[in-house]
Each structure stands twice: as C-alpha cells, then as structure tokens.
Amino acid sequence: MSCWMTIQDYGLRAVGIGERLLPREDFTLCQQFTLIGSGMIWNIYFGAFALISGFFFANALAMAKSARSPWLRKPAEWFIFIFRGSPLFVQFFFGYFLFLSLKQVFPIFTPFTAAWLGALVVLFLNTSAYSAEIFFGALRSIPKGDVESADAYGFSGWPRFKKIIWPTMLRLAWPAYTNEAIFLFHATALVFFSGFPAWQQKGDALYYANYFADKTFNPFVPYPILAMYFILLTLVVLSIFGLANRFLNRHLPQEARRKIKLKMNVIR
Amino acid sequence: MFSYCTDPNALSGLTWLSCYLTTGKHMAFYFSFGTVLLLLAITAPVALLFGFFGASAARSHILPLRWFGKTYIALVRGVPDIAFFLFFVIALDQMIEWTRHKILCPEWTEPVRQGNDFVVCQAAKMPLGSAPQWVHETYGFTLAVFTFAIVFGAFAANVMFGAMRAVPRAQMETAEAYGMTRRQAFRRILVPQMWVYALPGLGNLWMVLIKATPLLFLLGVEDIVYWAREMGGSKTSKFTEYPHGDWRMWYFFALLVFYLCFTRISEIFLERVMKRLTKGQATTGGEAQRKAPA
C-alpha cells in the first residue's frame, strides 16, 4: 500500500472520514505521520475556537475585574481565581462528570458530554480566566499620561475606552497573550486523557501517538512525530500573533515596539 | 471506623455519611493526597537541582556542554509537556531494562525489538516479575518522580538561566578585578545573588508544578484522580455496603477545592517571601515598599 493511499484512507480519520479500522500491525512511518497529523485537526479546532470565543469573554472579565462596583468585581475575581487556581486536568474531569449528571435531568446537555462541545466549553472558560488576568494586568499598566492626554482632548466614556484604553491595553497585553495562546494549544492535548471519551477512536494527535506507542511499545517514533507537529503549530501561532503585534504597534517608532518573546511553556 | 458502623443498612443521614467517608477505601483515598504531597516534596528539590545544572551547562564555555544545556532548555518549549510525561515513562523504563539486559544476559543473541514487542530476558525485567506488589508501585512512583523532575528541571533551568544573566554585570567585573577565576566568581558572586532574580519565576513554577500533579494519574500511579474516579462511580449494593449513584462529580469537586486551597496558601506564602526579599532592593518592588506610607 502506497503512502498516498494511506493519506487518502487516514488523512481525515480523526473526524470520521475514510477507513474505519485503525491499522493494527505492520505500522509504517507513513501511517503514523498521517494519523497523528489528522489528529491535529482536533487540537487546532479546540485551540482556535476556545481562543476566539475566550478573547471576547476575557475582555469582559477584565473590565468587570477592574470595575468599581463590587457586584461586578467580586464575581469576576472569583471566576478568575477558580479557573487559574485549579489544574485544567481536574477541571476537565469535573466538567465531564458535571455534564454527565446534568444530562440525566436536562436532556439538552447530551451534546456537552461529547468532547467536541464539552471540552471546548471547559477550555473556553479556562482560557478566558487566564487571558482576563493578562488583560487586567495590562489595563492597570496603561501609562497615566495616555489617559490624561485623552481627557485633555475631551475624550470620555465609551469613545475614550474604544479609542485609547482598549487599544493600549491590547498592545501591552499582546506578548503575554501570545504565550497564553500557545499554552492553550498545548493544553488541548489533555482533552482525550481526561474523561471525555474518544468516540469511534476519533481522537486528537496525542491520542493517536499514544495509540501507536502502546501498540508498537516503541515511544521513540510517534512522540517525536507529535513533537514535530506541535512545534510547527507553535511557529504558525507565533507568526500569526506576530503579524497582529505589528499591526497593534504600527504607530510607534521602530525601537519602542514590543517584541514578542516566547516565554516558558507551562501547563496549568 | 466508628462503633455504630457495623450495620450500614440501619444508618441514615449524617451518620451514614460519617461511616461512608471512613471506609478502608476512603482511607486509601486520603492516603493518596499524601502521595501527591510526597511527589511535590521530592520533585521540587530534584527539579531545582536539574535546573541548576541545566542552566550552568547552558552558560558553559565548553561547546558540547553548552549545546546540551541549551537543547535541554529548548526541548520542552513548543511541545505539550503531557507528551513528555507519556514519552519519558516508557522511554526510561525501556532504557533501564535494556541496560540491565545487556549486563545480565550477554549470551542473549536475539534483538530486543521484535516487531511490535520489546523483549528482554527474565532476569533483566524491572522490577522482577516475582517482586511483591509494593516494589512495583514504588518503581512506578520513582519513574513518575524522575519524569516530573526532568520536565520541570527544564523549566527551572530556563528560569535560572535568565536569573544568572540578570545579575548585574558590574558584580562579575568586580570579581574579576579581585583576581577570582571564573569558577570562583561563579560560586562566590553569581550563585548567591541570582536567587532574588530567580524567585518570581521559581514561585510561578511551583504553582505550575502543583497544578501538574494530577497528571500522575496518566503515569499509572494510584493518585487522587484515580481514587476519585474509582470511588465516585455508581455502586450497587451487590459490591458494597454503601451503595450510591454516580458521585464522581462531587469527588472531583472536592479535588478542585483541595487544589484551590493549596494554590491559595502557596500564593500567600510566596507573596510574603517576595516581600521579604525585595526589601531594600534597587528594584521597582523595593522602591514601592520604600515609598509606601509606613
């Protein structure tokens, strides 16, 4: 069987298109590359959707946390504390079993027990909390002079926020937010190891890498393949966020631009 | 546990719960919290040690050593560390067995990898097939600790590498002016001063390490996640004297609360230490402390 046929059979296996049975013996390199690559579809799906939806919620949370009224501030503070203070792995488990119990009472929660929605919700809440903390920090470090100048120009209320405060906050937060995006993509690898079942063996990249490592009892092939895919993904995310960073800093003199520095990759 | 627990069917309400929560299995559950704390207590210093050597290697003047240090630090970036956890546990295990195989069974001629199997001679099995259960568990736990230490050592190495570079250059120049060798300057000037700069990063790392402990479950150790899954599942009266429905949600809620308390306490503690360390330092933190109304 040629490699091209393998790609046709297994290229979209992770979303259920193509050959149903996973390879069982005589694993070729091509099969491992194809299946692990097809699993990356899930990692990108989880990461991209959680990141985009989380961005908006994080902004709202950061605003709420810096609000003066305790009715807004306290819930935001607690939300951020709960999701940043506990391990994502336990959050996945708790979320899954919570949805499972809710399903008994309200049938509407049935799709939430599947990974595609349930895990996405957990990831969304988690990344919202982490990003909100980043945005909140940036909000507090907006130079006093910028806001004073805006006041002097007669900006106030919503226009001041839209034109001055929010863009500055985003610009200051962007390098840290880039790191958060990378962590999020890495965190997606946890999904299928944390309660959420991989239905019909449709799993993410790590799920397939683990499958091959278990079957061949040789970790030295599938995991480096997985590592390669993730490094590629990291580079893509970095370059996209780098473009956004350039856009956010376009009005500044060249030297003053804040470069994105890839900081530690750490799980939560 | 309690004297009134002899007949579970006659119990109800809080007394039932008090009996339920003190069964032998629950004791194993509480004991597994100790496992997590033990893991933290061993991993943290070992990872710190690995990190220190990694950072020193990355600064070395000897090229291969520097490459080794830099690769070690860079390796963990860009790849989810859960992949490293899954990888190292098998890789370490196979490495140990392979080494023992080479030493203990030199007459063995067949290849170790036969198709999909990894075959070593009986004497090289680690732990030996005849070993008691606790040896297997300890071996698994040791492998897990080692894996954690390798991964978090790389994180710590990165933090310390940065901290070593943050020590003001003038300090090292003064050391040179006093005629100290590179090694002396490293030991007497650089190492004592780097900790202030490393502490925020290391504190952060400690929080991350706490939040990484549930991954022990994936490494095959019977930790709190394992027990929470095990005991929360619905039980019928056929298998236990304390039947209940699917309570896994509540068990994981308890874990969530445990971790929240743990991270909060660590946070408060680290804040205190940081306050103490920045006192009188020429940093923005120290400046803020000086300006604050006494």
What type of residue is A21?
L
- Which residue of chain A has the CA closest to B248? A97
> Which residue of B116, B248, B263 is in closest CB contact with A217?
B116
- Residues in chain A with CB shorter than 8 Å from the CB of B81 are 186, 265-267
> Which residue of A100, A206, A267 is in closest CB contact with B211?
A267
β-bridge partners, B244: B235
What is the DSSP annotation of B202-236?
A: HHHHHHHHHHHGGGGGGGT---HHHHHHHHHS-B-
- pLDDT for A262 equals 57
Using an 8 Å CB-CB cutoff, list residues of chain A that contact chain B. Answer: 25, 27, 81-82, 85-91, 93-94, 97-98, 100-101, 186-187, 189-190, 193, 206, 209-210, 213, 215-220, 223, 226-227, 230-231, 234-235, 262, 264-268
- Per the CB < 8 Å rule, is B77 touching A262? yes
The answer as to whether A18 is a domain residue is no
Distance from CA of A249 to the nearest CA of B (A): 25
Angle (deg, nearest 10), helices A205-216 and A29-65: 140
- pLDDT for A268 equals 47
> Which residue of B86, B155, B213 is in closest CB contact with A266?
B155
Could you report the per-residue pLDDT of B213-265, keeping only the tens digit for each? Answer: 888 888 878 788 888 888 877 777 666 777 777 888 888 999 999 999 999 99
Q: Give the domain range for residue A37.
A: 28-256
The count of domains in chain A is 1
- Which residue of chain A has the CA closest to B216? A89
Which of B76, B81, B86 best tests the A interface by mutation, with the highest count of A CBs <10 A? B86
Handedness of CA A116, A122, A127, A132 (dihedral sign): positive
> Which residue of A217, A231, A262 is in closest CB contact with B117?
A217
The answer as to whether A60 is a domain residue is yes
- Which residue of chain B has the CA closest to A27? B116
- Which residue of chain A has the CA closest to B201? A264
- Per the CB < 8 Å rule, is A206 touching B86? yes
pLDDT < 50 regions, chain A: 265-268
H or E segment and range at residue B273? helix B248-278
- pLDDT for A40 equals 93
Domain ranges of chain B: 43-289
Distance from CA of B3 to the nearest CA of A (A): 34
Distance CA B202, CA B157 (A): 10
- Per the CB < 8 Å rule, is A264 touching B158? yes
- Per the CB < 8 Å rule, is B81 touching A215? no
SS3 B34: helix
Q: pTM of this prediction?
A: 0.86
In CATH, what number is assigned to the domain containing residue A114? 1.10.3720.10
Distance CA A191, CA A184 (A): 11
Give exposure, B232-248, as e/b (b: 16+ Cβ within 10 Å). Answer: beebeeeeeebebeebb
What is the DSSP annotation of A189-244?
A: GGGGGTT---GGG---HHHHHHHHHHHHS-TTTHHHHHHHHHHHHHHHHHHHHHHH
More confident residue, B17 or A87: A87
- pLDDT for A243 equals 92
Q: What distance lies between CA B191 and its chain's CA centroid?
A: 24
- pLDDT for A49 equals 96
Q: Is the interface score ipTM higher than 0.90?
A: no
- Per the CB < 8 Å rule, is A88 touching B211? yes
- pLDDT for A60 equals 95
| Residue located via tokens 């803020």 | B288
Architecture of domain B43-289: Orthogonal Bundle (1.10)
Quick one: which of B23, B2, B12 has its CA closest to B239?
A: B23
- pLDDT for A57 equals 96
> Which residue of A94, A101, A265 is in closest CB contact with B76?
A265
Distance CA A254, CA A265 (A): 28
- pLDDT for A266 equals 47
- pLDDT for A265 equals 45
> Which residue of B205, B208, B229 is in closest CB contact with A268?
B208
What is the DSSP annotation of B76-106?
A: TTTS-HHHHHHHHHHHHHHHHHHHHHHHH-T
Distance CA B286, CA B51 (A): 27
* Cβ proximity of A97 and A91 under 8 Å: no
SS3 B114: strand
Could you report the per-residue pLDDT of B39-89, keeping only the tens digit for each? Answer: 899 999 999 999 999 999 988 888 899 988 888 887 766 678 788 888 888
pLDDT at B120 over 80: no
Two structure tokens written together for B199: 């502490």
Distance from CA of B220 to the nearest CA of A (A): 12
β-bridge partners, A51: none
* Cβ proximity of A65 and A229 under 8 Å: no
Which of A84, A86, A112 best tests the B interface by mutation, with the highest count of B CBs <10 A? A86
Could you report the per-residue pLDDT of B162-185, keeping only the tens digit for each? Answer: 888 888 888 888 899 999 998 898
